[in-house]
A and B are shown apart, each in its own frame.
Chain A
Amino acid sequence: MSEAITYHSVSARRVGAMVLRYWYLLRSSWPRVVDLIYWPAVQMLVWGFLQLYLVDQTSLAARAGGAFIGAVLLWDILFRGQIGFSISFLEELWSRNLANLMMTPLRPSELIVAQMVMSIVRVLIGLVPVTIMAIIFFGFNFWGLGFAVAAFFLNLILTSWSIGLVASGMVLKKGLGAEGLAWSLTFLLLPLCCVYYPVSTLPVWLQWISLALPPTHVFEGLRTLLIENRFDGPSMITAFLLNILYFTAASAGFGLLLRSARKTGALMQTGE
């Protein structure tokens, strides 16, 4: 039974233990919880008021009611999902606990699943209050988008995990010197995945790159839903298939970086 095989095995009990560990941490620190809500709320308010202003200025903005607010909420799922995933990992480095964990029967796959669970928990802690604020301030009911919300959420959270895996792997290999990646990697997607404007805005050559990114399909799907009142199912399936591809590649990459860290001794020296 090699590391490569055990890497794929998952014990619900050990995953539960790690989720409990992160939950204890979150519960012990109210600034951590406030941080999950604060920035999404500020972002939503800024874009919400901008949308209100534009509605008075252009007919397109009037037709696409909630497009900016919806986009900012979806962007936050992607960004916070990745940060939530990566922070759980960084917490182990900050507390110098990684070697302790790696000496337990905990498998890399179980650590990853626990990070995924905590990523969803952190996203929901931020998203639910902010979506309620969106209803109160702007009359935009995010949850009223129905099934589309589930499709958007699934695709964005999957992308966030892929990015989180790459960032965690790099931190594992390069130490906390690579921590900046965990905070900034997702922003690389911001201009490319067309959060606030349609893909057609980009130069043609860049559109191909943009369409290879699952979040582009989600943000295009949101605009289609709000402007044309139509849910673009095939586009969501394309995004999902792309996500499977990227997640598989990111998992394999994480496995390789972990092996590399075991070769270089980085697991024992998880500082800067």
Chain B
Amino acid sequence: MKAMRAEIPAISIVGLAKTYRAVVAVDGIDFSVSRGSIVGLLGGNGAGKTTTIAMIMGLVLPTRGTAKVLGTDMARDRHRILHRINFESPYVEMPKRLTVRQNLKVFGALYDVPDRARQIDKLADELDLKDLLDRETGQLSSGQKTRVALAKALINEPDVLLLDEPTASLDPDTADWVRTHIERYRRERHAAILLASHNMPEVERLCDDVLMMKAGKIVDRGKPAELITRYGRQTMEEVFLDVARDRRKQVAE
């Protein structure tokens, strides 16, 4: 039974598509993310990353195809599995008038976290939030808010973590610090992490595999080092630009 469970990918996407009226946001994509790995979802604005993540979370219903998390179809049965998932995005905020501690208490209760006070203290230690716990969330700087959002994302120690640009608007020091924490969390919890990012050094550092999206399709995939070699480039940033500017075919030729 355990072996069977181990074979189920943490995230399994098959033929996933989403059309908003005449606009094709995601166009029949397939991929999987196994436990203990970090997969990067890359693409320019409007490539379909956010819609893909929203369908994986079950917040958006696919037009066709399936998004399964830990074997559960998120369009149909998401409530069976939501306690094992969490996400963080700079585009989603937490109530500003509540203190950090109050917010974490509420989310801890929603996720039914046992011994919430201890878990909040532990996260405050790990994410350097001790001095912020009793401050209103809306009064924090963007870097502090990101750390609080990360604490919220880790409050239930999720098996699957969806991160949408987790280091956007952070200074290099804080961003590095957040990346180190994400790496450690993956290692310690053997968690599956899907990371949407525009920060290519971050992708190179964190991701085991990368999915390159353009116009709703996955146009290329592979390990960062493999992609760099295949495109004959020095960095993922250059690979990203090749894909974004359609130089992919010329490179292949």
A interface, CB within 8 angstroms of B: 1-3, 6, 9, 13-14, 16-18, 20-21, 24-25, 28-29, 91, 95-97, 99-107, 259, 262-265, 267-268
Q: Quick check: is B86 within 8 A (CB to CB) of the other chain? A: yes
Q: Which residue of B is nearest A25, CB measured? A: B97
Measured CA separation A97–B107 after assembly (Å): 11
Q: Quick check: is B245 within 8 A (CB to CB) of the other chain? A: no
Besides A96-B91, A262-B60, 4 other A-B contacts (C-beta < 8 A)? A21-B98, A95-B97, A100-B107, A262-B59
Given contacts A1-B79, A103-B82, A105-B79, contact A20 B61 (CB under 8 A): no
**Contact present for A17 and B93 (CB under 8 Å):** no
Measured CA separation A53–B110 after assembly (Å): 54
Contacts of B97 in A (CB 8 A): 24-25, 28-29, 95
**Contact present for A17 and B59 (CB under 8 Å):** no
Picked from B20, B83, B136, the residue with its CB within 8 Å of the CB of A264 is: B20
**Contact present for B98 and A24 (CB under 8 Å):** yes
Q: Which residue of B is nearest A1, CB measured? A: B77
Measured CB to CB, the closest approach of chain A to B3, in angstroms, equals 26
Contacts of A101 in B (CB 8 A): 110
Instruction: Classify chain B: how many residues form its interface, as a range.
Output: 35 or more
Measured CA separation A268–B51 after assembly (Å): 9
**Contact present for B77 and A2 (CB under 8 Å):** yes
14 contacts between A and B (CB under 8 A): A1-B80, A16-B109, A20-B105, A21-B98, A24-B97, A95-B93, A95-B94, A100-B94, A100-B107, A102-B59, A103-B85, A104-B110, A267-B59, A268-B59
Measured CB to CB, the closest approach of chain A to B2, in angstroms, equals 24
Q: Quick check: is B112 within 8 A (CB to CB) of the other chain? A: yes
**Contact present for A265 and B82 (CB under 8 Å):** no
Measured CB to CB, the closest approach of chain A to B81, in angstroms, equals 9
B interface, CB within 8 angstroms of A: 18, 20, 25, 50-51, 54, 57-61, 76-80, 82-83, 85-87, 89, 91-99, 102, 105-107, 109-112, 136, 152
Contacts of B91 in A (CB 8 A): 96
Contacts of A6 in B (CB 8 A): 79
Picked from A3, A13, A14, A267, the residue with its CB within 8 Å of the CB of B60 is: A267
- Compute the total of residue contacts between A and B using a CB distance below 8 Å: 107
Measured CB to CB, the closest approach of chain A to B40, in angstroms, equals 20
Measured CB to CB, the closest approach of chain B to A267, in angstroms, equals 5
Measured CB to CB, the closest approach of chain B to A177, in angstroms, equals 17
Measured CB to CB, the closest approach of chain A to B229, in angstroms, equals 36
Measured CB to CB, the closest approach of chain A to B114, in angstroms, equals 12
**Contact present for A268 and B60 (CB under 8 Å):** yes
**Contact present for B80 and A103 (CB under 8 Å):** no
Contacts of A29 in B (CB 8 A): 97
Measured CA separation A102–B76 after assembly (Å): 14
Given contacts A14-B109, A24-B106, A91-B95, contact A99 B82 (CB under 8 A): no
Sort A-B residue pairs by CB-CB distance and give the 6 closest, nearest first.
A17-B109, A104-B110, A96-B93, A21-B106, A6-B79, A105-B82
Which of A18, A25, A99, A259 has its CB near the most chain B CB atoms (within 10 A)?
A99
Given contacts A17-B106, A17-B109, A20-B106, contact A97 B80 (CB under 8 A): no
Q: Which residue of A is nearest B138, CB measured? A: A95
Given contacts A29-B97, A105-B79, A105-B82, contact A265 B60 (CB under 8 A): yes
Q: Which residue of B is nearest A259, CB measured? A: B61
Measured CB to CB, the closest approach of chain A to B113, in angstroms, equals 11
**Contact present for A103 and B86 (CB under 8 Å):** yes
**Contact present for B50 and A13 (CB under 8 Å):** no
**Contact present for B54 and A268 (CB under 8 Å):** yes
Contacts of A21 in B (CB 8 A): 95, 98, 102, 106
Measured CA separation A244–B98 after assembly (Å): 35
Q: Which residue of A is nearest B109, CB measured? A: A17
